[in-house]
Amino acid sequence: MTTWFKRLKEGLKKTSSRLSEGITTLITHRKLDDEMLEELEELLISSDLGVATARDLVQKLAKKRYNQNITPEEVREIFAEEIEILLNPCALPLTPKGASKPFVVLVLGVNGAGKTTTIGKLAKQWKDQGYQLSLVAGDTFRAAATEQLEIWAKRANVPLEVAPTKDAAGLVYDALQKAQTRGDDIVMIDTAGRLHNKTLLMEELKKIRRVIQKIDPTAPQATLLVLDATTGQNALTQVKVFQEAVDVSGLIVTKLDGTAKGGVLVAIAQQTGLPIHAIGVGEAIEDLHTFSAKDFAKNLMER
């Protein structure tokens, strides 16, 4: 087993053991009937897979095995297969290479979602793969945000651009010019996430985007929304809010280790159709990894 596969399995334990225990309790060597299907649907909903997804999965199970004897293991296997099929179109890795340089990655999300940490982890991974990159401390509202990004920048040994004032757009402009001059392959921009002042936040994001496009009309090459899985169904609301302000090009789902609501990733995939580039199952650099539909589905339905 690879290190990542182990970490993923471990990380999804809270969700998977809840699902597995639930399925074992519900399936007691009986024929698959309506009552069991209804209970399974409730179990999936309560694990945040979403009402539509839960119904869909249960219908597929019924189609395959209605009125037949079935074991908990078979239920988990069928669910895992169907979830993999559902997730497959969303499993698109992010390759930070484009027609123009630098490849600009704008990172969005509410406070605490895991933006800064995710940028740090990606910076280290991409640096190790040989990319030349720099970071921009665009969350100019939290004093600690810059210090936190500084630590990650040192760890990855990449330059960090910091603003002397609270003007994030000005900072981004200067940082992109410097990155172009240096010939950076990638620039990652951290942003503020004060959702309690939605209008201001969205205006600032739009402004940052305009400034980026002054330097390169085709940028940002990626606009990533970071979602905290522990917020469950609320993550779906966040997608809508950010989509209104800027075109989100892809998602990163963090903290799948901290919750029994890990099923929310399936709901997010099905309801938004957006690419899920990577997932996080912990605080270490190795805990962020490219999203694989098969690995996720398999480990979600592990015992």
Ligand X SMILES: Nc1nc2c(ncn2[C@@H]2O[C@H](COP(=O)(O)OP(=O)(O)O)[C@@H](O)[C@H]2O)c(=O)[nH]1
x-marked contacts with ligand X along 45-84 as a string, rule CB under 6 A: ----------------------------------------
DSSP designation for 186: E
- Which residues ranging from 175 to 214 are in contact with ligand X (CB under 6 A)? 193
- Least distance to Mg ion from the beta carbon of 129, Å? 24
DSSP designation for 175: H
Cα–Cα dist 12/279, whole Å: 11
Give how many residues touch ligand X by CB under 6 A: 20
- Least distance to ligand X from the beta carbon of 116, Å? 3
- Which residues ranging from 84 to 103 are in contact with ligand X (CB under 6 A)? none
Q: Which of 19, 57, 113, 137 binds ligand X (CB under 6 A)?
A: 113
Q: Which of 258, 285, 290, 302 binds ligand X (CB under 6 A)?
A: 258
Strands 288-290 and 103-108: unpaired
Nearer to Mg ion, 116 or 140 (CB): 116
Buried b (16+ CB within 10 A) or exposed e, 135-166: bbbbbbbeeebbebbeebbeebebbbbbbeee
Q: Which residue is nearest to ligand X (CB)?
A: 280
Q: Which of 136, 257, 259, 260 binds ligand X (CB under 6 A)?
A: 257
Nearer to ligand X, 269 or 288 (CB): 288
C-alpha to C-alpha distances, 42 to 26, 45, 155, 166, 271, nearest whole angstrom: 11, 5, 45, 47, 19
Sorted by sequence, the CB contacts under 8 Å of residue 207 that are 6+ apart come out as 168, 169
**Considering CB distances under 5 to 8 angstroms, the limit depending on partner class, which of ligand X, Mg ion, none binds residue 193?**
ligand X
* Structure-block tokens of residue 233: 């169904």
* Structure-block tokens of residue 2: 């690879």
Q: Which of 53, 116, 118, 231 binds Mg ion (CB under 5 A)?
A: 116
Nearer to ligand X, 66 or 141 (CB): 141
Cα–Cα dist 226/224, whole Å: 6
Stretch in the footprint of Mg ion (CB under 5 A) among 82-90, 140-148, 206-214, 239-247: 140-148
Nearer to ligand X, 72 or 109 (CB): 109
Give how many residues touch Mg ion by CB under 5 A: 4
- Least distance to ligand X from the beta carbon of 7, Å? 10
Q: How many helices (H) and strands (E) does the chain have?
A: 12, 8
If DSSP codes are grouped into helix, strand and coil, which group holds residue 222? strand
Task: Classify burial at 199, counting beta carbons within 10 Å of its beta carbon; exposed 0-12, middle 13-18, buried 19 or more.
Answer: exposed
- Least distance to Mg ion from the beta carbon of 171, Å? 15
Q: Which of 98, 283, 290, 302 binds ligand X (CB under 6 A)?
A: 283
Q: Is 227 in the site for ligand X (CB under 6 A)?
A: no
Nearer to Mg ion, 115 or 121 (CB): 115
Q: Are residues 156 and 124 in contact, defined by beta-carbon separation less than 8 angstroms? A: yes
Residues at the site binding ligand X, with contacts judged by CB under 6 A: 109, 111-117, 148, 193, 226, 254-255, 257-258, 280-283, 287
